[in-house]
Amino acid sequence: MKTLIGKISTYFVLIAFCFVIIYPLIWLLFATFKDNSEIFSSLQLLPKKFIWDSYTKGWAGSGQYNFGNFFINTLWLVVPTVIFTVLSSVLVAYGFARFRFPMKKTLFAIMISTLMLPNAVLVIPRYIMFKNLGWIDSYLPFIVPAAFACYPFFIFMMIQFIRSLPRELDESAYMDGCHSFSILFRILLPLSKPALFSVGLFQFIWTWNDFFDSLIYINSVKHYTLALGLRMSIDVSGLVSWNQVMAMAIVTIFPCILIFFFAQKYFVEGIATTGLKG
């Protein structure tokens, strides 16, 4: 009986805690059906009168480009960045975790030390370099660094996970005639699925929600991402339809929530096992 009461109490506390966490999302959802006066004057969750066209009007936008264009632009930016981040991080991590080469410790220390650099220090040199290369107002400042393993946090995650895999697997595959890349793609990558999902999910959410770097490197509206399009919809010189803005905010965060729920099994497993050295 005591065990049953304890379980019920635990579930009740967890449900209450989850409700507190997701309440802002619930309020945001219902606010999309309210008008401006009710959004700012009432704390009531349910609207007094439902406004059903906030999503259609918000999606249509107010100019030449709608949120369909911004959605496609975001996919063109995010998908290659995520794919190249995962591939490049795996290759570099495999080298550090399984091979011996000159100055390995020094190069690893240099890579880890770049984690200490704040983004504000890198903004100006990166902008000057990308401008000289003619990459401003394109997605290359995001995609090219991802292809060359410029994210040390993800490399470190993969290194720690690969180190947790027994070396006997590599030796057995080598005895069967596999070379280095065969060992990576046939043995280690299938076992590294949780860590790969963690890297991909982190990079997807960070890039999808990125506003600062997108604002710096993207100038023209036709290349705007969802984050920039959402900010553009807030016209400070006129009346803002906040229900439409919040509706597009729901649309913007929905893919991240959806992907997290589908991949949370691998994500939690990857976070839990990364750092365990076998």
CATH of the domain at 232: 1.10.3720.10
Mean pLDDT of the chain: 87
The answer, yes or no, to whether residue 275 has pLDDT greater than 70, is: no
Instruction: Flag whether 223 is in a domain.
Output: yes
Predicted TM-score (pTM) of this structure: 0.87
Q: Kindly indicate the confidence band of residue 109, based on its pLDDT and cuts at 50, 70 and 90.
A: very high
Average pLDDT over residues 94-103: 90
What's the CA gap between 94 and 179, in Å, rounded?
13
The answer, yes or no, to whether residue 58 has pLDDT greater than 90, is: no
The answer, yes or no, to whether residue 31 has pLDDT greater than 60, is: yes
For 44, counting Cβ atoms within 10 Å of its Cβ (0-12 exposed, 13-18 middle, 19+ buried), the class is exposed
Instruction: Flag whether 16 is in a domain.
Output: no
What's the CA gap between 208 and 269, in Å, rounded?
23
Instruction: Flag whether 28 is in a domain.
Output: no
More confident residue, 78 or 269: 78
More confident residue, 236 or 251: 251
The answer, yes or no, to whether residue 57 has pLDDT greater than 80, is: yes
The whole domain housing 218 covers 66-273
* Structure confidence at residue 37 (pLDDT): 85
Nearest to 227 by CA among 126, 77, 36: 77
DSSP 8-class letter at 101: -
* Structure confidence at residue 270 (pLDDT): 60
Average pLDDT over residues 231-247: 77
Tell me the percentage of the chain whose pLDDT exceeds 90. Answer: 38
Instruction: Flag whether 46 is in a domain.
Output: no
Number of domains in the chain: 1
The answer, yes or no, to whether residue 47 has pLDDT greater than 90, is: no
- Name the most confidently modeled range: 12-16, 52-56, 134-138: 134-138
* Structure confidence at residue 278 (pLDDT): 42
Q: Kindly indicate the confidence band of residue 271, based on its pLDDT and cuts at 50, 70 and 90.
A: low
The answer, yes or no, to whether residue 274 has pLDDT greater than 80, is: no
Tell me the percentage of the chain whose pLDDT exceeds 70. Answer: 93
Average pLDDT over residues 149-162: 91
* Structure confidence at residue 276 (pLDDT): 46
Instruction: Flag whether 191 is in a domain.
Output: yes
The answer, yes or no, to whether residue 20 has pLDDT greater than 50, is: yes
Instruction: Flag whether 169 is in a domain.
Output: yes
Instruction: Write down the residue that tokens 């790969």 correspond to.
Output: 196
Instruction: Flag whether 19 is in a domain.
Output: no
Contact indicator for 269, 194 with CB cutoff of 8 Å? yes
228 contact partners, CB below 8 Å, separation of at least 6 = 70, 211, 214, 215, 218
The answer, yes or no, to whether residue 204 has pLDDT greater than 70, is: yes
Instruction: Flag whether 24 is in a domain.
Output: no
